[in-house]
Structure 1
Amino acid sequence: MTIQDPREKHHDDEFTAQQQEQPGLTDDTMPEPDHGEKSYRGSGRLEGRRALITGGDSGIGRAVAIAYAREGADVAIVYLPEEQDDADDTLALICEAGRTAVALPGDIRDESFATSIVADTVEQLGGLDIVVLNAAYQKDRDGIENLPTEGFDRVFRTNLYGMLWTARAAVPHLQPGASLIVTASVQAYSPSPSLVDYAMTKAAQVAFVQAMAEELGPRGIRVNAVAPGPIWTPLIPATGWDAERLAEFGQDTPLGRAGQPAELAGAYVYLASEDGSFTSGAVLPVTGGKHL
């Protein structure tokens, strides 16, 4: 494979002004994110494993679903019903890789749903080996005095409550060698004031990962996180930033650009595979050089 300059490997210019309602959709995101549809090549590193991915329809979740399927895993994805078009594309890519794809539409802010997706995955895939707790919500905040309780509650119920409910339901099904992987963020360590509630949840996720790695390690279950930096996904134009903030998105990384979802897939594969068998309690940064 030809070595590429990481500064120029993907879109390295400013992003044009665009707005979406939550949740953002792939077809309305310009340029369209790269999830590895054409680039990811598997090598059997997850052969025969069963994975559940929340927020698996687009963005980082889709990139992970593609990689896992091409590495030999069957994959269930969780997504909001209004994201069905994106989910259909992801499910098709899983099937094209020759793996079983399971669709689980619903909202993980609902405890019964966030719990039931585990039983549904176990029933349809015959077990569960990898849980990727990836679903997230963020919104631009114009000062703490303007932070609505309803918005704060949505962020916490999506990023923390749903994550905890799903993890709690999954652990009894996990055998030695299984993995829990959380999508944290550089925001856990370097919080932006306009994302204060989102950053708070990401810091809490890091504490969750470290505590659960200690609790579940003696049972042979590894718990880790990936901490993305600025990654171009449909969530970004749906965050509510103005044209100037969007244009600058990712330009402040040492590599000078935002990342693409495809550039995170390898981190999730590593953490789920035998290559990561002695890695637990870790937060793996994929940030373009931003430090944690």
Structure 2
Amino acid sequence: MPEPLIDPPGAEAQLEPRADHGEESYRGSGRLQGKVAVITGADSGIGKAVAIAYAREGADVVISYLDEHTDAEDTAHWVRAAEREAVLVHGDLADPAHCRQLVRTAVQRFGRVDVLVSNAAFQMSHETLAEIKDEEWDHTLAVNLSAYFHLVKAAVPHMAAGSAIIGSSSVNSDNPSPQLLPYAATKAAIANMTASLAQLLGPKGIRANSVAPGPVWTPLIPSTMPPEAVESFGENTPLGRPAQPAELAPVYVMLASDEASYVSGARVAVTGGKPIL
């Protein structure tokens, strides 16, 4: 495989062109006023756009990230500019103990969790099965899928009726790219797990839904894909381009809001017209 354009997991400063997270465009209307949200992968990409939108809708935000401190501080800047509280928590979600500590931090600061967005993900592109090392398979499942389980298990005791869980699935859950085999498998499992959670937690009044993005322009793309794939990224959608992270945020806002009080067990596709089956 050719070397990626930037080192994984990538940083916003390395992204050319820069992504739009709604910094200058998203306008809130109080739809999440007073809520507490925990968002993983909130340093960049979809997670950053969701954090900015949530803050402008009135939510305090716990920003979970690996070690991209500069990007995470920028997310916190926008949250605080919206006059909401930002709590930064860095660490590896592949570690179940860190997942529990993330939730514990949120509860210690705010007393509860109203919205959990499990969004952090790892992927690498490979042309052959032999290229996928055992360690990479295990790590992809740990970050993308097992962390979701551990976060939900830790958060549910601190979630009241009306709370919301949102998992980031993918168009790859139904139309898997062969070059992204481990990633695609986890995204299918996230969709399935979310459907189970909706049924398990419904009696508690806790909703669970997932979002299935198509191609989205984030640092993960040029840091994990060969240059030729990056060059044509998103062109195979009916809209002919990748999404900007800001274009995903309104769906995450809707699913977290009280307006979606009867929406549970759903998977919302944001794919630029490419259907999921």
TM-score, normalised by the number of residues in structure 1? 0.92
* Aligned partner (choices 234, 253, 256) of residue 272 of structure 1: 256
Distance in 1 of aligned mates of 2:27 and 2:118:
23
Distance in 1 of aligned mates of 2:52 and 2:80:
10
Give the aligned partner of residue 96 of structure 1: 81
Deviations 1:213-253 (A, max 9, x none): 001011100000011000000100111x2222111100000
Q: Which amino acid aligns with 2:30?
A: G
Q: Which segment drifts farther, 255-264 or 118-127?
A: 118-127
* Aligned partner (choices 73, 76, 82) of residue 62 of structure 2: 76
Give the aligned partner of residue 161 of structure 2: 176
SS at match of 1:284: strand
Distance in 1 of aligned mates of 2:160 and 2:207:
10
Distance apart, 1:21 and its partner CA: 1.6
* Aligned partner (choices 15, 18, 23) of residue 29 of structure 1: 15
Give the aligned partner of residue 179 of structure 2: 194
* Aligned partner (choices 102, 107, 112) of residue 117 of structure 1: 102
* Aligned partner (choices 115, 119, 123) of residue 134 of structure 1: 119
Distance apart, 1:123 and its partner CA: 1.0
Q: Which amino acid aligns with 2:227?
A: A
Give the aligned partner of residue 49 of structure 1: 35
Distance apart, 1:18 and its partner CA: 6.4
Identity across the alignment (%): 49
Give the aligned partner of residue 275 of structure 2: 291
Deviations 1:65-86 (A, max 9, x none): 00000000000011012x0000
- Stretches of 4+ moved more than 2 A in 1? none
Give the aligned partner of residue 40 of structure 1: 26
Is 1:19 the counterpart of 2:5? The answer is: yes
SS at match of 1:236: helix
Distance in 1 of aligned mates of 2:131 and 2:80:
45
Q: Which segment drifts farther, 35-44 or 272-281?
A: 272-281
Distance in 2 of aligned mates of 1:267 and 1:155:
25
SS at match of 2:198: helix
SS at match of 2:221: coil
Spell out the pairing of 1:140-289 with structure 2 (5 A cutoff). 140-239=125-224, 241-289=225-273
Distance in 1 of aligned mates of 2:171 and 2:32:
27
Deviations 1:62-118 (A, max 9, x none): 00000000000000011012x000000000110000001000010111111111110
SS at match of 2:248: helix
Aligned residues: 274
SS at match of 1:99: coil
Give the aligned partner of residue 60 of structure 1: 46
Q: Which segment drifts farther, 148-157 or 31-40?
A: 148-157
Distance in 2 of aligned mates of 1:220 and 1:205:
20
RMSD: 1.0
SS at match of 1:51: strand
Distance apart, 1:125 and its partner CA: 2.1
Q: Which amino acid aligns with 1:268?
A: Y
Unaligned 5+ runs, structure 1: 1-16
Unaligned 5+ runs, structure 2: none
